[in-house]
Amino acid sequence: MSASFGNAVLRPLLSADRIASRVAELGREISAVYRDQEVSLVPILSGALVFSADLVRHLPLDMVIHMCALHSYQGTQPGQVNWRLPLPDTLSGQHVLVVDDILDTGQTLGRVCDAIRRQRPASLRTCVLLSRGEIAPGGLAADFLGFRIDRGFVVGYGLDFNGRYRNLDSIAILDPQPEPPA
């Protein structure tokens, strides 16, 4: 079933229940790796807002939550990556886990990881809810991944189209519809 939102049609991809059970599993996978280490979690806003809010409640770890924000997409097209909220400068010697909503070209995650590496953390890992397509040889792959998805621009559960749809509890493929003739 698809739902209409203004000029867009949303085709369901991942239900709220499917997401919730995978996030709980990810929590177990991640907790098993860090065990008694203190974690510095760095969600990349705004896309990772909803995912990380759910994920942290499945991570019974000693944890500090930092935040950073980058902006890249204009509508459904990737553009230049710009910092909106810089990283904290206190990550030296920390076990850092970066969290993002979706890995596509890897530009965003790569940029954040490069900046964190310059601070010399004790360890650096990445967790993304979604990864689109195959990772090219030598490309950036996440250490923890929720779902691999095919082509198609997705919204919901934090993912947006021009700032909208982040509040949907499930994930859908957005099919923009042509504007009706004036």
Binding site for Mg ion (CB under 5 A): 47
CB of 28 or CB of 84, closer to ligand IMP: 84
Q: Give the residue, chosen from 16, 74, 78, 176, that forms a contact with ligand IMP under the rule CB under 6 A.
A: 78
Q: Which is nearer to ligand IMP, 79 or 93 (CB)?
A: 79
**Is residue 169 annotated as part of the catalytic site, yes or no?**
no
x-marked contacts with ligand IMP along 129-158 as a string, rule CB under 6 A = ------------------------xxx---
The C-alpha atoms of residue 167 and residue 159 are separated, in whole angstroms, by 8
Cα 147 to Cα 56, 95, 107, 161, distances in angstroms: 18, 24, 19, 20
Q: At which residue do the structure tokens 């920390």 appear?
A: 94
Q: What are phi and psi of 33, to 5 degrees?
A: -80, -40
Residue from 17, 54, 89, 104 carrying the catalytic annotation: 104
- Beta-strand (E) ranges in 18-170? 39-45, 63-65, 68-74, 77-85, 95-103, 123-132, 144-149, 154-155
- Contact residues toward ligand IMP (CB under 6 A) are 44, 47, 72-73, 78, 100-108, 153-155, 159-160
Point out the residues that are catalytic. 104
